Each structure stands twice: as structure tokens, then as C-alpha cells.
Structure 1
Amino acid sequence: MKTRLQTSENEVEELKRLTGGRPQVAFSATLRETGNAAGNTGPFTTPIPLQYKKVFSNTGSSYNPATGIFTATVKGMYYFRFTMMNNLNDTPNSVVCLTKNGQRLVSVWDTVGTDAHDSGSNAVVIPLEVGDNVYVELLANMLIYDDGMNYNTFSGFLLFTI
């Protein structure tokens, strides 16, 4: 037990040395794992967290691609950004919201119109406690579109601890 404790303490000290003692949390992901699968995600009868499957980075392992949920492991101020795409096929309405612990914070929407292939993004800086969850939610009866060009993204990072 003593050896395991000493090994763990050495690993913590090495991590502190590498990061300057500051926690490092950052992720970036896009909706589809493969680049050639085109089509809509949705509509669904209830709001759902979007699962961004293709992970570009996940320093700190706080983002879970199986659920689409970021869980804070460090208390701090965070920056989040998301994008969405609508191609006006089938059900031509798209609404996605950045959600913290079930509360919608900011949204992007696009509705019926004469134009096609609209996209939008939004961002926010928010404080998080350890265990807080942040995700992008697709509202009920809405959809988003991707054709392998990675239009739908979700990213976030720790600005500083508090």
C-alpha cells in the first residue's frame, strides 16, 4: 500500500510539473464519426442531448462521446461553443440549445424559409462546479443536418479555476 501511495504521489507531482500545477480541460467534437454519412439527425419526440461522436481532442477526459455530455471535473469558469446546420429537407426546423444541468442557456434556431443550407453558432462563458453537466440539446420535433463536412460541432475549455 505504501508503494502504491508513493507511486501515485510521484505521478501527481509529475503532472503538476508538466502543467505548471494548473488543471487542463479542453475538448472539441463533431456530430458524425465518419465523413461520408449524409443526412438528418432527428426529429425525435422529446428533446435529446446530441452525441458528438468524432472527438478531435479531450484533454482531461471530461467530455463523453457516448452521451454527448461534458462533466466538470474542476471548479472554474468555462467557455463553450456549438454550431448547427439545417438543409431545409423534410421537417425544415432546427433548434439546438446549450444546456447546463437541465437548464437551457443559449440557443441557435432556423425555421422554414426560401433559402437552404443555413448554419449558426452560439457561445457562452459560465461558471461550473465539479459534477455540473453541459450538453447541446436538440429540441423535440427538430432536426439538424450533416453531409460529412462536420458542420455540427461542440467545444469547450476551462478558462481558469475559481
Structure 2
Amino acid sequence: MHAVAEINNNTDPKDAAEKLSKQTTKHIYPDIWTELRALRDMVVELNVHVELLQRENSDLQTRLSSSESELLISKSRIDQLEKENADLQTRLSSSESRIDQLERENAGEVELSHEMFFFVSSEKPKVAFYTALTDAGTLGPYNTDITLKYSKVFTNIGNAYNPSTGFFTAPVKGVYNLQFTVFGYHAGKIAVYVYKNDQRIMANWDNNNNTVHKYFTKSLVLELKAGDTIHLVLPSGWSIYDSSNNQSTFSGSLLFTL
């Protein structure tokens, strides 16, 4: 036992140091290789991630380039449309000016035509008409006002009355006498309005009061300019009657020119 102890005690220090170094290296090297492998795996993952980012960036660049091209095309189209709109506005303004000019020229020609027709000679213009309403019996009541068209024309000297519209149009400036008769047959309420152009100038009505026949007659003396119109209107909720006996009539004549 003593001999072994002595041998151990006499071991060379250099050998002991080498033995310790080998043991230390054996413990250190495995940890380094593990870290290196982990770092290598991390680098691989980072490279893959970088490639993905580069692809996404390339796609974004492509889409951005495409969007910029579309934006340029859209801006060019907008500029073109704005130019076309400006051209249309100019043409529209020119057309409106031309229409106004034509309307003025036409109004002057119409007035001149009337004057030439009625004043080509020294004779007084002849204007007279007499009409009856219808053979259909009772008209109304309706839920809206209607223009009465006196369809039976017995006299229309000067052709100033139009049976298709119910309008009398003054051919010359002058004073006119107009008359109308409104008849009701078993009707509770009879009425008629008189319009000059678009303005109501007279309203007439009467209740039948359960009698079989009811009528009234009115006359007007009006100063009219050439082109003024007169027409009669059946108001909403009221009635009028006419038959082959011509109970409801509308007539007029020119008294003198001005």
C-alpha cells in the first residue's frame, strides 16, 4: 500500500496537466459543435426567410408598376374626357345661341306673316267662330281639371279656332267678343273656367238643385295680342252636358283691330 501511494505521489506534474487538458477539451468541444449546428440551422432559416421577403418585394414591385401604369392610363383618359366635355359644352353653347336666334327670327316671321295676311288689303280682318261641345252627353265629374275641346265646328272664319286642342288663338291684335253656354242635365254641379294663355281670368259655376235642366251663359270682351289664346276648362269635381241639340257652346268674333 505504501508503494502505490508513493508511486502516485511521484507522478509527473506535466502528465497530470495533459490529462486535465484532455478532460476539459472533451467537455468543451461537444458544446461548441452544438452551438455551431444551431447557428447553421438559424442561418438556413434566415436565408429562406430572406428569399421569401425578396419574392414578396418583387411581387409588390410588379404590382406597384402595374398600378402606376393603370393610374397613368386613367389620368390620360380623364384628361381626354375633360377635353371632350369642354368641346361639348362649347358646341352646346353655340347651339343654344343658334336656337335663340332662330326663335327670334321665327317669331318675327310669324308676326310678319299675320300682318301680311290681314293687312295686305285695306279690308278689316274677318275672324268669327261658333262651336258646340260633343254628342256624348254628360262629361265629368273628373278628379282633375280638363281642357274642353269643342269638336263640332259650325263657323270658323279665319281658322283661329282649333278643335283638336280647344284653343282659340287671336290672329291679330284687337278687341274680341267671346261667349259660352254651359248646360247641365241631371247634374248636381256645372262649371267652367276661362283661361287666357295660362292664366285663369274667369270662374263660373252653378248647382242644379235637383232640377232636370240647368244652364248659364257668359260673354267677355277682351283685348288680345296676336298669338294670345283663349280656352275653357272643366274643373275637377264638376260636370257639363251636351248632345246633338248643341246645348253647350263656345263662340267669338273680332270686333276691331288695334
Q: What range describes the TM-score normalised by the shorter chain of this pair?
A: 0.7 to 0.9
Q: 2:205 aligns with which of 109, 120, 145?
A: 109
In the TM superposition, 1:99-138 aligns within 5 A as: 99-138=195-234
Distance (Å, rounded) in 2 between the aligned partners of 1:153 and 1:88: 18
Residue 72 of structure 1 deviates from its aligned partner by 0.9
Q: Which has the higher strand share?
A: 1
Q: 2:130 corresponds to which letter in structure 1?
A: S
Residue aligning to 2:133: 31
Please state if 1:86 is matched with 2:184. Answer: yes
Structure showing greater radius of gyration is 2
Structure 1 unmatched runs, 5+: 1-10
How far apart, CA to CA, are the structure 2 residues paired with 1:12 and 1:153?
A: 28
CA distance in 2, matches of 1:12, 1:147: 36
Give 2:232's aligned amino acid: V
User: Per-residue deviation at 1:88?
Assistant: 2.6
- Aligned-partner Cα distance in 1 for 2:242–2:152: 13
Higher relative contact order (CA closer than 8 Å, sequence separation 6+) = 1
What letter is aligned with 1:69?
F
SS in structure 2 at match of 1:51: coil
Deviates more, 1:137-146 or 1:38-47: 38-47
Partner of 1:56: 154
CA contact (8 A) 1:106 1:123 kept: no
Distance 2:117 2:221 in 1: 29
What are the superposed Cα offsets for residues 20-79 of structure 1, whole Å, 9 maximum, x if unpaired? 5211111110012xxxx4521122222122110110111111100001100111100000
The 2-side partners of 1:78 and 1:122 are apart by 14
Distance in 1 between the 2:117 and 2:170 partners? Answer: 19
Q: How many residues align?
A: 142
- TM-score, scaled relative to structure 2: 0.51
In structure 1, which of residues 54, 58, 74 is the aligned counterpart of residue 172 of structure 2?
Answer: 74
Equivalent-residue separation in structure 2 for 1:12 and 1:39 (angstroms): 39
Quote the Cα distance in structure 1 between the aligned partners of 2:138 and 2:182. 11
Aligned residue number for residue 8 of structure 1:
none
Separation (CA, whole Å) in 2 of partners of 1:122 and 1:12: 31
1: distance between equivalents of 2:247 and 2:175? 26
Corresponding residue number in structure 2 for 1:42: 140
Structure-1 residue corresponding to 2:194: 98
Gaps of 5+ in 2: 1-115
Contact map agreement 2:195 2:233 (CA 8 A) in 1? yes
Please tell me whether the aligned partners of residues 108 and 121 of structure 1 are also in contact (alpha carbons under 8 angstroms): no
Aligned 8 A contact 1:86 1:110 in 2: no
